[in-house]
Amino acid sequence: MPPLLGEATLLPSLTAAAPHHVLRALHAHLLVSGRLASPPHLAAFLASLASSGHLAYARLVLPRRPATLLAHNALLRALARGPRPGLAFAAFRDLPLPPDHYSLSFLVRAAAALAAAPAAAGERPVRTEASARRLLVAVSAHGAAVRRGHAADPHVQSGVVSMYAALGDAAGARAAFAEIACPDVVCVTAMVGALSAGGDVDAARDLFDEMPLRDHVAWNAMIAGYVHVGRTREALRLFDEMQSAGAAIGEATLVSVLTACAQMGALDRGKWVHWYMRSHGMRMSVMLGTALVDMYSKCGVVATAMEVFESMGERNVYTWTSAVSGLAMNGMGLECLELFKRMESSGVQPNGVTFVAVLRGCSMAGLVDEGRTCFDSMKDKHGIDPWLEHYGCMVDLYGRAGRLDDAINFINGMPVEPHEGVWGALVNASRIHNNVELGKHALDKLLQIESENDAAHVLLSNIYAVTQNWKGVSRVRGMMKAKGVKKVPGWSAIEVDGKVHEFFVGGKSHPRYKEIEMMLAEMSRRLRLQGYAANTKEVLFDIEEEEKEDAISLHSEKLALAFGLIALPEDVEIRIVKNLRVCKDCHDYTKLISKVFDREIITRDRNRFHHFKDGTCSCKDYW
């Protein structure tokens, strides 16, 4: 017999595993005690049944001729919050009385949950029949609220805003918000979330700053919005403000902060979040554990990332994928492949993102045959149709290994039109293996697709510069000027004592620039004694050799490296994050610095990690 139920707690917890006789015993107890005669108690019983997956039993208990919708609305609410929110629509259609504002609020929440489901499952935001159906469901729910005269209810209104936000329909969210005369905190918070998710973080911030009261949901939405658009510094500053304001910090907050740290390569800040979790007794949930694995991996601390991964009691496909991707980006191709096989053996079904990571890992390590086997298994074994990114990875796999003919044959045999990633991979392979003609052909194809791609123009200039074809370089520069294409300025960042310092090529604005300049001179002196000569082949100007050396001596990563040497203790690794691919000279330069200064240097460029130690690099000069 279930325990007696007090006023504060109506029911003991039910689980999906509860056998039928337990449900009947509990039901009988509530009947005999007279509690089911109370509408609130009946509503709570129905909600408990539905929330624990006993929907069939809940339907048997539903009153057929109720005086109010309290019990039916409790069921609607539980379904809207449950793992299958679509069931709420059938329950709504079966209402024995006209729906009230609570009914419509729960219906709209169910539509919002359906709209948010693809993002929560890590699906790609593409237009499909399923996304069209979700939009139709959302519009139908909104329309039902309008027809029934409940569209002006605050809870319905905030639900509608959240629903359109979950669909990625910022215009719909704005329109719904504009109809609200006096939006309450819930509604304004929903709109902040909608604008943030849609990328309009400045409008979201204006709305956020105007809020007289902000709960943790509003703070989380704003921080997540900054992270979403890559404005990580502002995200971390806002997190500091959130702490000062005394707002509740939970899992969603820390996941966003860890993502910001991962983007910036802010290891010290990421470590602080890990410490905060432990010191506050926070459970290592799947989301938090996955975010930690991602953060440590993207900061180049693979060993710690894998320690977190192995310590997790529960892992999902995103956890496995983050770990696989971390190994891949750090050039650990064999380990990446081994972990992927473990993932398959554990019964976790990989997704498309997993295969992008595995193929990149194989490419970085030159594991051509293994990569081809993984690519073939996508469709044959796992039923996953390759994305355009997978085709690009395969071209990169063949190209990096010098199998350019295989790369071209693969492109010619593609069942879809080659996209910019495919031609970009072939361009990079041509650069690595000095195949000028193939590089020009691939770049022509790439520029036909992306005529304003700055990186493509720069690569073409590099190819001409390497062969000292200055007319070609000039022609490309003329093309860029005519199209209004500007090269993205290179920057490098380094974290010292929890503060991230950014350097731009030729920049002299850092407060310690005089010291940096002196260290650069010392670095140059000691490297020349080791026989270092600057590699000036990729300098895009027909100038004297000495001027070329001056031009590359102030590349942003060299400035960051010099600052690291003067600001960090000798036993601390120097960690640099760069927004562009590291050039050949800076790569050779950093290898020698690691040997001459006896320092371990970890650089994350646009493509991968480079771990420099004792004059060698983990990429084996293959990047």
**pLDDT per residue over 16-28, tens digit each?**
556 767 777 888 8
pLDDT of residue 127: 47
DSSP 15-38: -TT--HHHHHHHHHHHHHTTGGGS
Q: Is 487 exposed, middle or buried (0-12, 13-18, 19+ CB in 10 A)?
A: middle
With beta carbons less than 8 A apart as the criterion, state whether 33 and 70 touch: no
As beta bridge partners, residue 229 has: none
Q: For residues 606 and 360, what is the distance between their CA atoms, to the nearest angstrom?
A: 13
Q: Provide mean pLDDT across the span 485-506.
A: 87
pLDDT of residue 168: 75
552 has a pLDDT exceeding 60: no
**DSSP collapsed to 3 states, 360-393:** HHHHHHCCHHHHHHHHHHHHHCCCCCCCHHHHHH
Q: Provide mean pLDDT across the span 82-100.
A: 89
Backbone φ and ψ of 351, nearest 5°: -115, -175
DSSP annotation of 612 reads E
Model confidence at 620, in pLDDT bands (50, 70, 90)? Answer: confident
Give me the amino acid identity at 613.
Answer: K
Residue 246 lies in a domain: no
Q: Which residue has the tokens 């729906």?
A: 99
Model confidence at 256, in pLDDT bands (50, 70, 90)? Answer: very high
pLDDT of residue 587: 92
Closest listed residue to residue 523, CA positions, set 597, 415, 582, 455: 597
Higher pLDDT, 534 or 383: 383
The average confidence (pLDDT) of the chain is 85
**pLDDT per residue over 507-527, tens digit each?**
889 999 999 999 999 999 999
**SS3 state of residue 602:** strand
Those residues with Cβ within 8 angstroms of residue 302's Cβ, 6 or more apart along the chain or in another chain: 296, 326, 327, 330, 332
Alpha-carbon distances, residue 42 vs 37, 69, 90 (angstroms): 7, 11, 20
Q: Provide mean pLDDT across the span 4-21.
A: 52
**pLDDT per residue over 539-551, tens digit each?**
444 333 333 344 4
**Token digits for 295?**
């953060």
DSSP annotation of 581 reads P
- Give the domain range for residue 587: 491-617
Contacts of 358-361 with CB under 8 Å at 24 or more apart are 358/324, 358/328, 359/390, 359/393, 359/394, 359/397, 360/325, 360/328, 360/329, 360/393, 360/396, 361/324, 361/327, 361/328, 361/332, 361/333, 361/336, 361/337
Residue 607 lies in a domain: yes
Residue 338 lies in a domain: no
DSSP annotation of 586 reads H
**pLDDT per residue over 37-47, tens digit each?**
777 888 888 88
Residue 498 lies in a domain: yes
DSSP 246-298: TPPP-HHHHHHHHHHHHHHT-HHHHHHHHHHHHHTT----HHHHHHHHHHHHH
Q: What angle do CA 455, 459, 463 make, to 5 degrees?
A: 170
**pLDDT per residue over 428-450, tens digit each?**
888 888 888 898 899 889 888 88
pLDDT of residue 549: 41
**pLDDT per residue over 459-476, tens digit each?**
777 777 777 777 877 888
Q: For residues 349 and 205, what is the distance between their CA atoms, to the nearest angstrom?
A: 39
pLDDT of residue 1: 31
pLDDT of residue 41: 81
Residue 507 lies in a domain: yes
Backbone φ and ψ of 13, nearest 5°: -70, 135
**Token digits for 214?**
């902000």
Q: For residues 431 and 453, what is the distance between their CA atoms, to the nearest angstrom?
A: 17
Model confidence at 9, in pLDDT bands (50, 70, 90)? Answer: very low
pLDDT of residue 152: 84
Q: What is the largest CA-CA distance in the chain?
A: 98
Residue 534 lies in a domain: yes
pLDDT of residue 6: 39
Percent of the chain topping pLDDT 70: 91
As beta bridge partners, residue 602 has: 575, 611
Higher pLDDT, 266 or 16: 266
Alpha-carbon distances, residue 143 vs 35, 89, 108, 177, 180 (angstroms): 37, 14, 10, 15, 16
pLDDT of residue 173: 86
Percent of the chain topping pLDDT 90: 48
125 has a pLDDT exceeding 80: no
**Token digits for 235?**
């995200």
pLDDT of residue 16: 54
Q: Report how many domains make up the chain.
A: 1
Model confidence at 15, in pLDDT bands (50, 70, 90)? Answer: low
pLDDT of residue 100: 92
pLDDT of residue 154: 79
Q: How many C-beta atoms surround the C-beta of residue 40 within 10 A? A: 12
Higher pLDDT, 22 or 380: 380
**pLDDT per residue over 167-219, tens digit each?**
878 788 888 888 887 887 877 888 888 888 878 899 999 999 999 889 999 99
Q: Provide mean pLDDT across the span 348-362.
A: 95
Q: For residues 583 and 558, what is the distance between their CA atoms, to the nearest angstrom?
A: 11
pLDDT of residue 547: 36
Distance of CA 80 to the CA centre of its chain: 27
532 has a pLDDT exceeding 80: yes
pLDDT of residue 11: 53
Those residues with Cβ within 8 angstroms of residue 103's Cβ, 6 or more apart along the chain or in another chain: 69, 72, 73, 76, 92, 95
pLDDT of residue 2: 36
Q: For residues 400 and 459, what is the distance between their CA atoms, to the nearest angstrom?
A: 16
What are the helix (H) ranges across 82-230? Answer: 87-93, 101-120, 129-147, 154-166, 170-178, 185-197, 201-210, 216-228
Residue 31 lies in a domain: no
Residue 80 lies in a domain: no
pLDDT of residue 365: 86
Segment (H or E) for 78:
helix 70-81
Least confident range from 14-18, 147-151, 221-225, 434-438: namely 14-18
With beta carbons less than 8 A apart as the criterion, state whether 540 and 467 touch: no
